Amino acid sequence: LAAYNLQDTILTLEIFEKAKILPNAIERTKRSGHLLDRSIGSIAAFDYLYLPHLHRAGYVAKDSLDAATSTEPLPGGYVIEPTPGLYHNVMVFDFRSLYPSIIATFKIDPLGYIVKDQNVVKNPSGTQFSRDTTILPKIILDLLDARAAAKKADNPYLSQAIKILMNSFYGVLGAQNCRFFSSALATSITKTGQHILKTMISYIADTTVYKVIYGDTDSLFVHAGKTITEHPDTIGLRISTAATEWLSQYIRNTFNTESHLKLEYQNTFNHFFLPSVRGATHGSKKHYCGSTITGSTMELTFKGMESARSDWTDLAKEFQHELYIRFFRSEPLDNYICEMVTKLQSGQFDNKLIYKKRLRKDLEEYTAHVPPHVQAARLLDSPKHIIRYYITRNGPQPIEKWSSPIDYNHYIDCQLRPIADSILESTGKSFDKIISGQQDLFEV
């Protein structure tokens, strides 16, 4: 037990060092006014920054116990309905700190919402805020300047701490346990974000020959295609610069306020794949895979897919990565899929079939629904927080007490098939047709 605890401590320390958790936490502590172990408290950090300015302006905030409540769900960011398929040269654009920039641009502020004078700023949601009696926009602008200075000084920890702090403000204003909660404030931010994203989509469609194929909240994916004659970085930077300038003029003319919004070009995916919803023809939101090629090396970026999730097996992640590499390189997939199924059935991948799942509560608290990792944990004398287990022909079994044959059909159906079919559906093929005859060879 002592050896296990020592190893657990060493691993934790290594994680802290690799992820640079401590330097980030220290910088967040300096900005939030909290003790180190409480630096993630977003609402308290907001109070620390906001309340002194409010008091100096001659106002007193309500107690958090008297905060307003609402049963109405708050609107989210705008997500474009994706058109599934494979695309080439897809440029990625992001708005720099979208929600904080919206707050600064449209003077969205708890005090400015209550104290309205003749000089107001009206945002795309229709809500009005005082142009002059305002606090939060100035805090945001100071933080944006501080983050720019941190980047210039090559201080990534401070830059990240400020980014996290700023991005928490929207969530704070939409949290009902915050004294400044107001559905009008939170809705103003998200609806304005929706308007900005839709406006940018129209701008790109009207002023370029390229098409926005996907977008989510603060990001846009623009298809340039195979036939471009310029480097995509050149095109992307030109679009982002022109779009930012046009948006500033649009906001000035339409809403009579200075824009702090900036569309930034991030990178270009050489290949970009949008899968369809399983069993349907429309695209799956918040799911994609893109490739970036440097020399002979192809690097993949997964979003919302199996390789990006911790509760899929190592085999599934390896299978997905290799399958997409071959798909993007226009290499045949059938033989590789059959080979993987054959090796799986013959036991060559047993060490890659282990599920790892965290226990979120005590075992006795799982009553209505008992997931597989809990079933496995109940077979252990002293289960740890992370349960490592196989799916066997007799159900889930922890690796410490694994005794039954592995249920290979489960792994074929639940790990390999969904990954393969997400690609194969776009080619007119299916996993079942490719492996037909393979499983029969190994049935016992």
One domain for residues 383 and 261: no
Which residues form the domain of 186?
A: 41-274
Task: Specify if 97 maps to a domain.
Answer: yes
Q: Residues 61-68: what's their mean pLDDT?
A: 77
What pLDDT, on the 0 to 100 scale, is given for residue 153? 87
Backbone angles phi, psi at 162, to 5 degrees: -65, -40
Task: Specify if 297 maps to a domain.
Answer: no
**386 or 64: which carries more pLDDT confidence?**
386
What pLDDT, on the 0 to 100 scale, is given for residue 414? 94
What pLDDT, on the 0 to 100 scale, is given for residue 155? 84
Residue that is last in its domain, among 252, 274, 296 = 274
One domain for residues 347 and 203: no
What pLDDT, on the 0 to 100 scale, is given for residue 342? 96
Residue that is last in its domain, among 274, 289, 324 = 274
The CA distance from 182 to 306, in Å, is 37
Task: Specify if 409 maps to a domain.
Answer: yes
Residue that is last in its domain, among 255, 274, 293 = 274
Stretch among 82-96, 146-160, 313-327, 338-352 having the lowest mean pLDDT:
146-160
What pLDDT, on the 0 to 100 scale, is given for residue 34? 64
User: What CATH number corresponds to the domain at position 158?
Assistant: 3.90.1600.10
What pLDDT, on the 0 to 100 scale, is given for residue 206? 97
| pLDDT tens-digit map of 200-244 | 999 999 999 999 999 999 999 999 999 999 999 999 999 999 999
One domain for residues 57 and 167: yes
Q: Residues 296-312: what's their mean pLDDT?
A: 84
220 contacts 201 by C-beta, under 8 angstroms: yes
The pair of structure tokens assigned to 15 is 């994680």
One domain for residues 317 and 204: no
One domain for residues 341 and 246: no
Q: Is the pLDDT of residue 441 over 50?
A: no
What pLDDT, on the 0 to 100 scale, is given for residue 159? 87
237-to-95, 98, 247 alpha-carbon distances in Å: 13, 18, 15
What pLDDT, on the 0 to 100 scale, is given for residue 74? 82
Backbone angles phi, psi at 77, to 5 degrees: -75, 160
Stretch among 17-21, 196-200, 248-252, 335-339 having the lowest mean pLDDT:
17-21
One domain for residues 237 and 352: no
One domain for residues 329 and 392: yes
Burial of 253 (0-12, 13-18, 19+ CB in 10 A): exposed
One domain for residues 50 and 141: yes
Task: Specify if 30 maps to a domain.
Answer: no
Query: What's the chain's average pLDDT?
Result: 90
pTM of the model: 0.85
What pLDDT, on the 0 to 100 scale, is given for residue 91? 98
Task: Specify if 28 maps to a domain.
Answer: no
What pLDDT, on the 0 to 100 scale, is given for residue 64? 75
**116 or 342: which carries more pLDDT confidence?**
342
Q: Is the pLDDT of residue 410 over 90?
A: yes
Interstrand relation of 219-223 and 263-274 (parallel, antiparallel or unpaired): unpaired
Q: What percent of the chain has pLDDT over 70?
A: 93
Q: Residue 444: pLDDT band by 50, 70, 90 thresholds?
A: very low
Task: Specify if 114 maps to a domain.
Answer: yes
| pLDDT tens-digit map of 2-13 | 777 788 788 888
Stretch among 162-166, 190-194, 407-411, 417-421 having the lowest mean pLDDT:
162-166
Q: What percent of the chain has pLDDT over 90?
A: 66
One domain for residues 432 and 322: yes
Q: Residues 49-76: what's their mean pLDDT?
A: 84
One domain for residues 114 and 194: yes
One domain for residues 179 and 99: yes
Task: Specify if 8 maps to a domain.
Answer: no
One domain for residues 53 and 202: yes
| pLDDT tens-digit map of 165-182 | 899 999 999 988 899 998
Stretch among 141-145, 177-181, 278-282 having the lowest mean pLDDT:
278-282
**11 or 163: which carries more pLDDT confidence?**
163
| pLDDT tens-digit map of 381-395 | 888 889 999 999 999
What pLDDT, on the 0 to 100 scale, is given for residue 36? 61
Q: Is the pLDDT of residue 191 over 90?
A: yes
User: What CATH number corresponds to the domain at position 314?
Assistant: 1.10.132.60
Which contacts (CB < 8 Å, 24+ apart) does range 74-77 have?
74/174, 74/183, 74/186, 74/187, 74/190, 75/187, 75/190, 75/191, 75/194, 76/190, 76/217, 77/190, 77/193, 77/194, 77/197, 77/216, 77/217, 77/218
First and final CA of the chain: distance in angstroms? 41
Number of structural domains in the chain: 2
Task: Specify if 2 maps to a domain.
Answer: no
